Amino acid sequence: MAHEYYIGLMSGTSMDSVDAVLADFTATSPLLGSYRLPFPEALRAELVALCAPGPNEIVRMGQAERAVAELFALAVHGLLQQQQLSGNAIQAIGSHGQTIRHHPELGFSLQIGDPNLLAERTSCTVVADFRRRDIAAGGQGAPLVPAFHAALWRQPGQHRCILNLGGIANITWLDARPERPVTGFDTGPANLLMDAWMQRHCHCSMDQDGRFARSGQLLPALLAELLRHPYFLLPPPKSTGRETFNLNWVDQCLTSLSLRGTAPEDVMRTLLELTALSATESIASQSPQGELIVCGGGAYNRFLLERLQALLPHYQTRLSSCFGIAPEWVEALAFAWLARRRLQQQSSNLPEVTGASGLRCLGGIYPP
Question: What does the pLDDT read at residue 94?
Answer: 98
Question: Cα-flanking dihedrals φ and ψ of residue 350, to 5°?
Answer: -125, 105
Q: Taking all residues of the chain, what is their mean pLDDT, rounded to a whole number?
A: 97
Length of the chain: 368
Radius of gyration of the chain (CA): 20
Question: Residues near 39 by Cβ (< 8 Å), separated by ≥ 6?
Answer: 11, 15, 16, 17, 18, 47, 71
What is the strand order of the sheet 5-10 is part of? Answer: 31-38, 17-23, 5-10, 90-95, 126-128, 364-366
CB atoms within 10 A of CB 184: 30
Question: What does the pLDDT read at residue 1?
Answer: 64
Question: What does the pLDDT read at residue 2?
Answer: 78
Q: Which of 170, 143, 44, 145 is nearest to 100 (CA)?
A: 44
Question: What does the pLDDT read at residue 16?
Answer: 86
Q: Which of 91, 99, 87 is nearest to 14 (CA)?
A: 99
Domain 5-141+329-366 belongs in CATH node 3.40.50.12160: no
CATH class of the domain at 146-323: alpha beta
The pLDDT profile of the chain, 368 residues, written as one tens digit per residue, is 678 999 999 998 888 899 999 999 999 999 999 999 999 999 999 999 999 999 999 999 999 999 999 999 999 999 999 999 999 999 999 999 999 999 999 999 999 999 999 999 999 999 999 999 999 999 999 999 999 999 999 999 999 999 999 999 999 999 999 999 999 999 999 999 999 999 999 999 999 999 999 999 999 999 999 999 999 999 999 999 999 999 999 999 999 999 999 999 999 999 999 999 999 999 999 999 999 999 999 999 999 999 999 999 999 999 999 999 999 999 999 999 999 999 999 999 999 999 999 999 999 999 99
Question: What does the pLDDT read at residue 245?
Answer: 97
Question: What does the pLDDT read at residue 171?
Answer: 98
Q: Where in the chain is the domain with CATH 3.30.420.40?
A: 5-141+329-366, 146-323
Q: Could you read off the pLDDT of 268-293 as tens digits, one per residue?
A: 999 999 999 999 999 999 999 999 99
- Cα-based angle 152, 156, 159 (whole degrees, multiple of 5): 85
